[in-house]
Amino acid sequence: MYTLGMDIGSTTSKAVILRDGREIVASSMVIATVGTLGVFQVMDHVLEESGLKKEDMACIVATGYGRQTYGEADYQVSELTCHGLGVRHVCPQARTVIDIGGQDAKVLSLGEEGRMVNFVMNDKCAAGTGRFLDVMANILKLDISQLEVEAARSEKPANISSTCTVFAESEVISQLAAGTAIPDLVAGICQSVAVRTAALAKRAGIKEKVFMSGGVAKNGGVRSALEKELGTEIGWHPLGQLMGALGGCIYGWEKSR
Amino acid sequence: MTANEWLAKLHEAASCPKKHMERYLSQGKKVVAVAPVYTPMELIHSMGLVPMGVWGADVEIKEAKKYYPAFICSIMQTILEMGIKGEYDGVSAIVIPSLCDSLKTLGQNWKYAVKEIPFIPMSYPQNRKPDYGIKFTKAGYQRVISDLTIAAGAQFSEAALAESIKVYNEHNQVMREFAEIASTARLTAAERNDVFKSAWFMLPEEHTAVVKELNAALKEGPEDEGKARVLVTGILADSPSLLKILDDNGIKVVFDDVAHESRQYRIDVPDMANPMDALAQKFADMDNCTLLYDKEKKRVDYIIEQAKAHSADGVIVLMTKFCDPEEFDYVPIKRACEAAGLKHLNIEVDRQMVNYQQAGTMIQAFKEMF
């Protein structure tokens, strides 16, 4: 049985096809969000990669920011539930999930069976989200993927405001003018995201094992800063950005079997 | 009439308060605006005046920004905004109590911003239960009587107050009965809110008559089944967008601890020889509210007790943005919910919300945990 999960996020659309609730057959990611052709492109890509047709899917589950507007889904499930299910699939020991997406940050508490039992979300603010990192990378004329490497080269991380993306942008420009080294600025930016996320995580309560999902999970600079803030090791998976779509597949499989 | 027809009548009252105010004015009655959270409505009613609630509205704040910083309660800001824009034109006065620091500033700003509608302060004591507290409350009521006499030309009599107390006590009882019936009857969150909201815009005797009929019809009707059962707590829960999200996600409000709703009807005026003493005693008897000083935080236990009594599976805290008293209470509520095995969700709300995407995701995820 094949199930398909579509995670229509605020900056990227992701799709995963799963066989029998276990094996990832295909996955795709397009940098495009709800209301754009990207949503259809990601579906086409994942079907093409798998060699399957939409009719072969026992269930299609939409999640993420654009879930309510995706009319072809059998179920529209919150991204919190889907990230919980996705992480449980790749790391059954995880009890705390930190998901930093393009537009928001969430912390999930998972129970003994890996089911979500509590969660908190960030305020309606870009600080501490993927958008914050995008803005900062743009000021520094770096690709988002370079942030991890630059942060690792830092000798003395700069102090960047953790409260507001707009003010932080001004701070970074001021620090550039003052001659602060790029690696130190990047490390300070990662630290800023970590401080804000750690505060959110502490509100939910930290229970090991801690796992990070969402696009920002790929950023080692943020991960290691967060590990220091929380005083615990943080697990992650190279497919961390696909956890929502993967969780959608699992939800669909559980409903269909 | 069917339950749906009674509900439609209350929805109309809840949606069009101005129409009701104009109706009362056309009947030769005088209307007095009453601001959150507790005002002596029995007293205003006894002077032949119509008390109508003003809890602001989901409107853009422009004019009130001249008087307030951005980081203050939007309920209060929108009351001032609507006052400045003439939405309350026609009322004879506004009674604003002193139950939180923000409300105190509303009264002060009102004097300068809306000069044509007299501001009448209702000063309550922090320590409301001792004899000196009750005397302080009574002195506050005397000030309201005195100011209403000047502002509306109305006269006070103890005999009339005794009659109004009977009217309000009956209304309280009918509203409490509705809250119990609504915990099982098939009713949406929006319809439930209409019943409470409309009470602010109708004379109590009129509202009592309608809700009595509604209660009878609901008792005969079907029960709600298969929904997640929650207790909602907070200052205000009247946003149509938010209530729709609850309804769309199959969440049933089985009881509330909302200042705008059930908190108003918990306590009756006791039977005492002097009606003014009795009215002051009512305020002393009130409890389990963020805005009523209680160092023991009994409200927390009350919420858990009511959640259990109404078979709620969880508690939704609608946290009014910048409401310090409510924020202070949140941590013990959260801990008590966890100790009681109740799922809980905290959603920040205000009168300026235009995007409910995040609230929608949180409520859906909350429901998915059941």
* pLDDT tens digits along B302-357: 999 999 999 999 999 999 999 999 999 999 999 999 999 999 999 999 988 777 88
Determine the Cα–Cα distance for residues A255 and B368; give it in Å rounded to an integer. Answer: 13
Picking from B361, B364, B370 by the largest number of A CB atoms within 10 A of its own CB, the best residue to mutate is B361
Determine the Cα–Cα distance for residues B7 and B132; give it in Å rounded to an integer. Answer: 44
Q: How confident is the model at residue A163 (pLDDT cuts 50, 70, 90)?
A: low
The stretch B255-283 carries a mean pLDDT of: 97
Determine the Cα–Cα distance for residues A189 and B17; give it in Å rounded to an integer. Answer: 51
**Per-residue model confidence as pLDDT tens digits over A172-215:** 888 888 888 999 989 988 888 888 889 889 988 899 999 999 88
- Give the rounded percent of residues in chain B with a pLDDT score beyond 90: 93
* Contact yes or no for B368 and A78 at CB 8 A: yes
pLDDT for res B70: 85
Instruction: State whether residue A117 sits within 8 Å of chain B by CB.
Output: yes
What ipTM did this prediction achieve?
Answer: 0.84
Q: How confident is the model at residue B198 (pLDDT cuts 50, 70, 90)?
A: very high
Least trusted range by pLDDT, from B66-70, B113-117, B124-128, B144-148: B66-70
* B322 touches B292 (CB < 8 A): no
| Ranges of H-type helices in B153-230 | 158-182, 189-198, 204-220
Mean pLDDT, chain A, as a whole number? 88
Determine the Cα–Cα distance for residues B350 and B357; give it in Å rounded to an integer. Answer: 14
CATH class in words for B3-159: alpha beta
pLDDT for res A162: 60
Chain B residue closest to A108 (CA)?
Answer: B365
Q: Residue B47 pLDDT > 90, yes or no?
A: yes
Picking from A63, A121, A123 by the largest number of B CB atoms within 10 A of its own CB, the best residue to mutate is A121
Report residue B353: phi and psi, to 5°.
Answer: -70, 125
Mean pLDDT, chain B, as a whole number? 95
- Give the rounded percent of residues in chain A with a pLDDT score beyond 70: 97
Q: How many CB pairs under 8 A join A and B?
A: 35
Determine the Cα–Cα distance for residues A168 and A192; give it in Å rounded to an integer. Answer: 9
Question: Who has greater pLDDT, A95 or B356?
Answer: A95
Please report the domains of chain A, with CATH numbers, ordered by start residue.
1-91+241-257 (3.30.420.40), 95-236 (3.30.420.40)
* Contact yes or no for B362 and A121 at CB 8 A: yes
Contacts of residue B134, defined as CB under 8 A and 6 or more positions apart, other chains included, come to B128, B277, B280, B281, B283, B284
Instruction: State whether residue B244 sits within 8 Å of chain A by CB.
Output: no
Which residue has tokens 């409510």? Answer: B326
* B263 touches B236 (CB < 8 A): no
- The residues spanned by each domain of chain B are 3-159
Query: b vs e for A51-65, b when ≥16 Cβ sit within 10 Å of the residue's Cβ?
Result: ebeeeebebbbbbbb
Q: Residue A143 pLDDT > 90, yes or no?
A: no
pLDDT for res A247: 95
